[in-house]
Structure 1
């Protein structure tokens, strides 16, 4: 797993580091040993959209982050790193960030990148981006010239570059004329090493090498989503193979070269299969769920507390992963900078009698509790099955509502009726540090009544973003996490690993939180 223990310690130096990041690495720059061929990737979920501003699904990122780029992104250690920016300078008072754009960058339609495109993209994200609250701290942005973009903050925020470089729902840069499109209706035109070719819903997405791509030479090779990226294959076809058996069969027969999320039950057989290698990321994602505060009966805090009290996390995680898990009471992976066990007393209570007492106190009267899930992600579906039985044992009338993944996700994000508890997992938001994981909660994934914020949580979250010292920010994270668990804003079930299968002719593919296909070639 990429380590990022020092993220907080480095954040104060981030601006200085990035300001000099345009210097080429002393290492020899990456060049594709071979080029050509079509690389086929078997996706575990359908791609709901390629509009990266408005799509929070990992399936969207798996495709879109090979097409689009941002001003600043995260490297393998989860530190901010330049992407379309050549350099970043921070003013002495911490209020102004000046981004110089890389020279010679062109969009896939042949248009040269300028700061006008950056402004249009930021304007669009401020209006409709999923994580647009990231920009609430911004007073203004401007473009003094075609190669310069300037952000001015309302007040200094030590973690601003960390927030800006988040790629959970990144602020990808679009041509200004594309940025005027409504949500979900953009032409997928970016500046990345691959350009869009075709999107057939529920079937496949095809991308192709962009011959005029200008790589970022600040690094010799790829680090996270940063660095020198090259498209070594001619095309990539992402096939949406949501049924796990079909996806594993396609890997075994060679119909796909890379298969996402190999289940534990298939590991032994595939390891013994000639021509197949399994690669893994130990801490890939956090299995998590959250209640809907706006729909009865989960609008009652005692009902939410009863749901949490009834849960046996070992049973949930065993079903979700076939044993490939670690219990985790936190919103961070173990060993990382913000990891804290604050609020652990609310986790894995496995207390049916307490749950029954809380339901009685709530005046619960057998109203349905609708568990919203999908079958494309087995971890989510199996978690829902186990939780359903645990809630029934406590006297809760649990019902499953099973939709396809894009519809389930959209329902959880846009609807406040028709569901009471949503099952998902967090990968990038957990990996990128405390502020990123808490921002998921601060942006009201739990659907409070009238979208009203929780004052105590928001105060602690503000401390995570703006605390003047590392210690202050860590303490604020612990406070916010305790509040989230106590009030049942979100429930971490445990940490999951992720294993992917690759054919032996795939070279230089490394597992990450999302699929990266730059600098990968086929040895055929």
Structure 2
């Protein structure tokens, strides 16, 4: 998919820094294709070159509560970005989007792309002090294969075996190019064999993993308090004693609490507030490009939006450049295609998009079953002022060609429930890659047989599905790029969703924070965080 929800759902010191995201796709042949995280060898220094500052509680304001730690059954960022603090995968992606070894100290992919061998790091322990073995990895991956879930393992896995206590071998039936990248997803974290001897239900209430933090207190409708994992494999880390996820549902309240020092950082910083925080003496903004595409989604089961001419008419009626300029304050790029520029095989600068042209939009609507226009609704989640403005711009654009849109604003949890049930005509949301791999977004948004039925649009196109599957089996290179270029062009022509812009991921933080790592999927790494005293 994608965790694919910034509304549902980077190493540098705090400061108004921007990072050009360089994405390197892991190869699918040869020997070791990964590298160890730089921070694993020894504790990093503090900003002034001395010993790292330790201790303290870091409070992070987030717009949605954590309601589950079941890594195999979750997808939205409210849960994903808490799960990844407790469970860790064999390989991960760093702040540049590169695949690196994580719990594995090395990995090897056979030349035929069918055999993946991972060797675990020495001395790995779970947070309860028990040793991590290859059998734990076997159990974790087999449980994921059994459960499936929203981020199911799509590769055709023949076997998952522990060759010895430290070596895991995964064999595939046929090549699946995205596999190594997808193993970096939070959903492929390693959990203890047989849930550590307790029931599944008990384990998920008090999860045990290898991550830098352990769940201490958890309110599924409110806050989560994590404590430092004293058995963490990165020596001396994390530096902070506690991490608190504080629920702040309104973005204006989040800004105010950050300014007042009630929180140390806030998630999903509204773009319109970024420059204000950058200019503040006590606040700063972190950014790291983005794997996100802001989109207008259509339910193709709806009587109006099942008509491709209606969708094309709206795409032509919306001035994406003007919308982006008005809403994002220089922290986003207009989107012509589905894949963000930071993801390989994106065609944003070469695709033939339906660019803004009101006369063409009216002509396209005239070809539809509703040439005189119609009335419909646009579903959005509350608490996001930028989305509210975005909806109004789209409402005005639609009105210019005879389509009357009523904006329907609901609480975030209700918003999710509604589109999960296809209870919407159109909605505003974002698509987000979970890993540096084109298939991460394309599969989630185009596969009618997948978990989300093409991101709950129910869009179905046999040629698109065929291209999607071809892309999964084709090795990285020019041929794979041609497949994805064709696929993206069909999506641009039939617009089951309209890509609007690619927003930078922005995190607001206090200037007293050092070492916060922002990842291009929107998650943060807190193990290097130091609080100035």
Q: Which residue of 2 aligns with 1:426?
A: 431
Q: Could you tell me how far 1:491 is from its partner in structure 2?
A: 2.0
Q: Secondary structure at the match of 1:479?
A: helix
Q: CA 1:321–1:341 in structure 2 vs 1: closer, same or farther (change >3 Å)?
A: closer
> Does 2:152 match 1:143?
no
> Does 2:27 match 1:11?
yes
| Equivalence map 1:42-191=2 (5 Å) | 42-165=61-184, 167=185, 170-178=187-195, 181=200, 187-191=206-210
> Does 2:44 match 1:30?
yes
Q: Which of 233, 244, 247 is the aligned partner of 1:240?
A: 247
Using structure 1 for the length normalisation, give the TM-score: 0.84
RMSD: 3.4
Q: Could you tell me how far 1:427 is from its partner in structure 2?
A: 4.0
Q: Deviations over 1:460-493 (max 9, x none)?
A: 2233322235111111111111122222233210
Q: CA 1:382–1:453 in structure 2 vs 1: closer, same or farther (change >3 Å)?
A: same
Q: Which of 193, 214, 233 is the aligned partner of 1:195?
A: 214
Q: Which residue of 1 aligns with 2:525?
A: 516
Q: Could you tell me how far 1:364 is from its partner in structure 2?
A: 6.7
Instruction: State how far apart, in whole Å, the 1-side matches of 2:465 and 2:110 are.
Output: 27
- The more displaced of 182-191 and 58-67 is 182-191
Q: Secondary structure at the match of 1:309?
A: helix
Using structure 2 for the length normalisation, give the TM-score: 0.83
Check the 8 A contact 1:343/1:482 in 2, yes or no: no
Q: Which residue of 1 aligns with 2:227?
A: 208
Q: Could you tell me how far 1:374 is from its partner in structure 2?
A: 0.5
Q: CA 1:356–1:16 in structure 2 vs 1: closer, same or farther (change >3 Å)?
A: same
Q: Could you tell me how far 1:313 is from its partner in structure 2?
A: 1.2
Q: Which of 471, 485, 488 is the aligned partner of 1:481?
A: 488
Q: Could you tell me how far 1:78 is from its partner in structure 2?
A: 2.0
Check the 8 A contact 1:291/1:446 in 2, yes or no: no
Q: Could you tell me how far 1:368 is from its partner in structure 2?
A: 4.8
Q: CA 1:44–1:449 in structure 2 vs 1: closer, same or farther (change >3 Å)?
A: closer
Instruction: State how far apart, in whole Å, the 1-side matches of 2:499 and 2:517 are.
Output: 27
> Does 2:255 match 1:255?
no
Q: Deviations over 1:272-327 (max 9, x none)?
A: 43322233334463212322222333233333333323322134324542453221
- RCO higher in 1 or 2 (8 Å CA, sep ≥ 6)? 2
Q: Deviations over 1:112-153 (max 9, x none)?
A: 323333233223322444454543432232234443322111
Q: Could you tell me how far 1:73 is from its partner in structure 2?
A: 1.3
Q: Deviations over 1:353-404 (max 9, x none)?
A: 5346436522478665332211234343332232233223322242333232
Check the 8 A contact 1:283/1:495 in 2, yes or no: yes
Instruction: State how far apart, in whole Å, the 2-side matches of 1:496 and 1:254 are.
Output: 26
Check the 8 A contact 1:343/1:485 in 2, yes or no: no
Instruction: State how far apart, in whole Å, the 1-side matches of 2:274 and 2:319 are.
Output: 26
Q: Which residue of 2 aligns with 1:224?
A: none
Q: What are the ranges of 5 or more consecutive residues in structure 2 without an aligned counterpart? A: 1-17, 46-50
Q: Secondary structure at the match of 1:289?
A: strand
- The more displaced of 52-61 and 200-209 is 52-61
Q: Deviations over 1:10-35 (max 9, x none)?
A: 524575233xx469999755367121
Instruction: State how far apart, in whole Å, the 1-side matches of 2:332 and 2:458 are.
Output: 33
- The more displaced of 342-351 and 326-335 is 342-351
Check the 8 A contact 2:446/2:465 in 1, yes or no: yes
| Equivalence map 1:87-486=2 (5 Å) | 87-165=106-184, 167=185, 170-178=187-195, 181=200, 187-215=206-234, 230-283=237-290, 285-334=292-341, 337-341=344-348, 344-351=351-358, 354-355=361-362, 357-358=364-365, 361-363=368-370, 368-412=375-419, 414-416=420-422, 418-429=423-434, 432-444=436-448, 445=452, 447=454, 454-486=461-493
Q: Secondary structure at the match of 1:121?
A: helix
Q: Could you tell me how far 1:256 is from its partner in structure 2?
A: 0.8
Q: CA 1:124–1:420 in structure 2 vs 1: closer, same or farther (change >3 Å)?
A: farther
Q: CA 1:506–1:98 in structure 2 vs 1: closer, same or farther (change >3 Å)?
A: same
How many corresponding residue pairs?
504
Q: CA 1:128–1:402 in structure 2 vs 1: closer, same or farther (change >3 Å)?
A: farther
Check the 8 A contact 1:505/1:522 in 2, yes or no: yes
Q: Secondary structure at the match of 1:468?
A: coil
Q: What are the ranges of 5 or more consecutive residues in structure 1 without an aligned counterpart? A: 216-227
Instruction: State how far apart, in whole Å, the 1-side matches of 2:94 and 2:331 are.
Output: 26
Q: CA 1:396–1:189 in structure 2 vs 1: closer, same or farther (change >3 Å)?
A: farther
Instruction: State how far apart, in whole Å, the 2-side matches of 1:481 and 1:467 are.
Output: 16
Check the 8 A contact 1:434/1:464 in 2, yes or no: no
Instruction: State how far apart, in whole Å, the 1-side matches of 2:424 and 2:37 are.
Output: 52
